[in-house]
């Protein structure tokens, strides 16, 4: 691991009286996958929104490639290399699959001009396995293809940090396998990835480190196996009092 | 032949309606903003053109060179100063803001000018026509209006389908928050859409002012036709608006053949029928939520 590409320090966010993200700190290096686990409502998605810039934190810092981007909005962070997928895919419904992806390639962090954006878009389409469906209307896609599109579009913005929000949920086993391969491939190409997931074996097959959240707090972080076996995590999921 | 003539005249009248409805369609399509000051803004453009005609002796056509960019700037100011802020308050706020703007503009024009009706003078071009037969003639000016409408609306359609910014505009229309995640600044896109919309309002205002007389308060009476054209064609579809305008125009002129006393009535009936039978509009597939 070289020095960290994304560095999040003491991130805090509350909605009214409810503290949703409480003092979260983590780092992700290029070519590293950080898995994020935690029960529903643990603040995982809110944390991603704080990193992507969709939400402004109440406290803490987000540093991307050595530059503090805490005050940079979502557009600026996208252009500086943060890509994000949604748990529930949000395609541009009245545009074709190709147009959806082209929009990412044109406006995102990659090259904005000429053929380069077509190259980016085509690459992303191929990687996500959507080649045969480029001209379909995005709104007409079934769930799996919507998930693929979500990923392809984020990749087309040429991110350095990719934030994945439960992208394996609802996929069949062979599809999860393909996704795992793709994530490994992206990791090998130098991307830093933060992956929120409930499909545990997919996480265990890909992540370098694992972080567990409950009630907005990091309860364990580090070696995936150790975190999985930690009393804190078992307590959070099963609710048993640790012996 | 009487009927053929009615349809032909309707086509050309429809061009004017489509041109006029274009800006309304665009602003609603991209920003979900219903601009109740749409008609009044077109009247402002007509008065602007008239001021140039009176002071500089220009032809109204020539004033488009000033009126179009001028109205685009009005669009930018309107979006940034009024609509962006109103959108931040609630979904209803832009509607109320443009309603207020409509009243303000009417009274401002009354202050500056007078309630007297005006027209933009285009001389013999306004009454010239080709006589195809005894009962069928094609007016130069209505034909030009139709041509301009087709060029403007199809041009915008092409821009939305092909251009980089057009794609960004459609993405923002579908989901502004996700568009931002793609690196698209939705505020800029909104400003651009408002500029484009008001530029077309400028063209429409000048053409309306050349075709018929206007007063400071005629805007709101035009507005209903724009709404009807947009709804008939399918909300948010520029191509649909062109078709919707033409359907409305033909309905009115054919209606005049049926019942000369109230031609507008048939247009309204067609509009209401579409609203009941196909509320999504005639030219929009049902897939497009």
Pairs of CB atoms within 8 A across A/B:
75
Specify the long-range contacts of residues B182-187, CB closer than 8 Å, at least 24 apart: B182/A78, B182/A103, B182/A104, B182/A107, B182/A108, B182/A153, B182/A157, B183/A75, B183/A78, B183/A79, B183/A104, B183/A107, B183/A108, B183/A109, B183/A157, B184/A75, B184/A103, B184/A107, B185/A75, B187/B84
Task: Determine, yes or no, domain membership for A201.
Answer: yes
Asked if A85 is an interface residue toward chain B (Cβ–Cβ < 8 A), one would say no
User: Are the beta carbons of A67 and A80 closer than 8 angstroms?
Assistant: yes
| Minimal C-alpha gap between B148 and chain A (Å) | 27
Q: How many domains does chain A have?
A: 1
Q: What letters, b where the CB count within 10 A reaches 16 and e where it falls short, cover A35-50? A: bbbbeeebbbbbbbbb
The reported pLDDT for the residue numbered A108 is: 87
Quick: pLDDT tens for A88-130.
999 999 999 999 999 999 998 766 677 888 888 999 999 898 9
> What confidence tier does B244 reach under pLDDT thresholds 50, 70, 90?
very high
Q: What is the CATH number of the domain that holds A241?
A: 3.40.50.300
Nearest to A139 among B173, B178, B288 (CB): B288
CA quadruple B37, B40, B41, B47: dihedral, nearest 10:
-170
Quick: pLDDT tens for B201-231.
999 999 999 999 999 999 988 999 999 999 9
> What confidence tier does B147 reach under pLDDT thresholds 50, 70, 90?
very high
Task: Determine, yes or no, domain membership for A197.
Answer: yes
Measured between CA atoms, the residue of chain B closest to residue A109 is B183
The reported pLDDT for the residue numbered A110 is: 65
Measured between CA atoms, the residue of chain B closest to residue A86 is B178
Quick: pLDDT tens for A30-55.
999 999 999 988 999 999 999 999 99
Residues A77 and A75: their CA atoms lie apart, in Å, by 5
Mean of pLDDT over chain B? 92
> What confidence tier does A236 reach under pLDDT thresholds 50, 70, 90?
confident
Percent of chain B with pLDDT over 70: 98
Q: Where are the domains of chain B?
A: 2-110+141-277
Strand A59-64 to A67-68 pairing = antiparallel
Percent of chain A with pLDDT over 70: 96
Task: Determine, yes or no, domain membership for A216.
Answer: yes
A128 three-class SS: coil
Q: Quick check: B132 pLDDT over 90?
A: no
Task: Determine, yes or no, domain membership for A150.
Answer: no
What is the extent of the structural domain holding A231? 1-77+191-243
Task: Determine, yes or no, domain membership for A112.
Answer: no
What is the phi/psi pair of residue B31, to 5°?
-110, -5
Residues B241 and B235: their CA atoms lie apart, in Å, by 8
> Could you give the angle at which helices A97-107 and A143-156 cross, rounded to 10 degrees?
20
Chain B neighbors of A159, CB-CB under 8 A: none
Asked if A215 is an interface residue toward chain B (Cβ–Cβ < 8 A), one would say no
Asked if A140 is an interface residue toward chain B (Cβ–Cβ < 8 A), one would say yes
Complex prediction ipTM? 0.89
Give the dihedral sign, CA A64/A66/A106/A162.
negative
Nearest to A108 among B173, B175, B183 (CB): B183
Question: How many of the other CB atoms lie within 10 Å of CB of B62?
Answer: 14
| Minimal C-alpha gap between B84 and chain A (Å) | 17
What is the phi/psi pair of residue A165, to 5°?
-110, 100
Beta-carbon separation of A95 and B170 below 8 A:
yes
């Amino acid at each position: 691991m070289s020095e960290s590409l994304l560095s999040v320090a003491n991130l805090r966010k509350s909605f009214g009286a409810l503290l949703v993200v409480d003092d979260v700190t983590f780092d992700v290096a290029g070519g590293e996958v950080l898995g994020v686990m935690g029960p529903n409502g643990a603040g995982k998605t809110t944390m991603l929104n704080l990193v992507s810039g969709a939400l402004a934190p109440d406290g803490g810092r987000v540093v991307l490639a050595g530059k503090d981007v805490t005050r940079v909005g979502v557009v600026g962070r996208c252009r500086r290399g943060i890509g994000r997928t949604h748990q529930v895919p949000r395609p541009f419904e009245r545009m074709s699959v190709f147009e959806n992806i082209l929009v990412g390639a044109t406006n995102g962090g990659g090259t904005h001009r000429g053929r380069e954006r077509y190259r980016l878009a085509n690459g992303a389409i191929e990687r996500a396995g959507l080649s045969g469906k480029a001209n379909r209307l995005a709104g007409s896609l079934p769930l799996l293809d919507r998930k693929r599109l979500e990923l392809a579009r984020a990749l087309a913005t040429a991110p350095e940090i990719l934030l994945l929000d439960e992208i394996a949920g609802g996929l069949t086993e062979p599809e999860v396998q393909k996704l795992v391969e793709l994530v490994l491939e992206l990791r090998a190409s130098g991307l830093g990835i933060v992956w929120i997931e409930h499909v545990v074996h997919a996480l265990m097959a890909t992540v370098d480190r694992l972080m567990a959240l409950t009630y907005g707090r990091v309860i364990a972080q580090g070696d995936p196996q150790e975190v999985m076996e930690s009393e804190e995590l078992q307590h959070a999921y099963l609710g048993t009092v640790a012996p | 032949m009487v009927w053929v003539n009615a349809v032909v005249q309707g086509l050309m009248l429809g061009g004017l309606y489509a041109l006029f409805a274009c800006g309304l369609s665009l602003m609603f399509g991209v920003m979900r903003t219903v601009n109740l000051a749409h008609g009044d803004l077109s009247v402002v453009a007509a008065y602007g053109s008239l001021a140039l005609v009176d002071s500089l002796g220009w032809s109204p056509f020539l004033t488009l060179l000033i009126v179009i960019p001028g109205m685009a700037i009005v669009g930018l100011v309107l979006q940034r100063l009024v609509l962006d802020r109103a959108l931040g308050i609630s979904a209803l706020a832009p509607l109320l803001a443009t309603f207020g703007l409509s009243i303000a503009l009417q009274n401002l024009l009354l202050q500056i000018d007078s309630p007297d009706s005006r027209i933009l003078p285009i001389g013999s071009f306004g009454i010239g026509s080709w006589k195809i037969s005894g009962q069928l003639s094609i007016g130069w000016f209505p034909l030009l209006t139709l041509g301009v409408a087709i060029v403007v609306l199809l041009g915008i359609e092409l821009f939305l389908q092909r251009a980089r910014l057009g794609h960004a505009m459609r993405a923002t229309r579908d989901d502004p928050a996700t568009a931002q995640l793609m690196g698209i600044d939705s505020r800029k896109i909104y400003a651009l859409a408002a500029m484009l919309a008001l530029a077309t309002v400028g063209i429409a205002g000048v053409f309306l002012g050349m075709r018929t007389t206007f007063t400071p308060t005629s805007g709101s009476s035009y507005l209903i036709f724009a709404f009807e054209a947009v709804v008939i064609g399918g909300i948010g579809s520029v191509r649909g608006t062109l078709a919707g305008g033409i359907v409305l125009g033909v309905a009115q002129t054919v209606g005049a053949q049926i019942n000369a006393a109230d031609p507008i009535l048939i247009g309204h009936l067609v509009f209401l029928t579409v609203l009941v039978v196909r509320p999504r509009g005639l030219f929009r597939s049902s897939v497009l939520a």
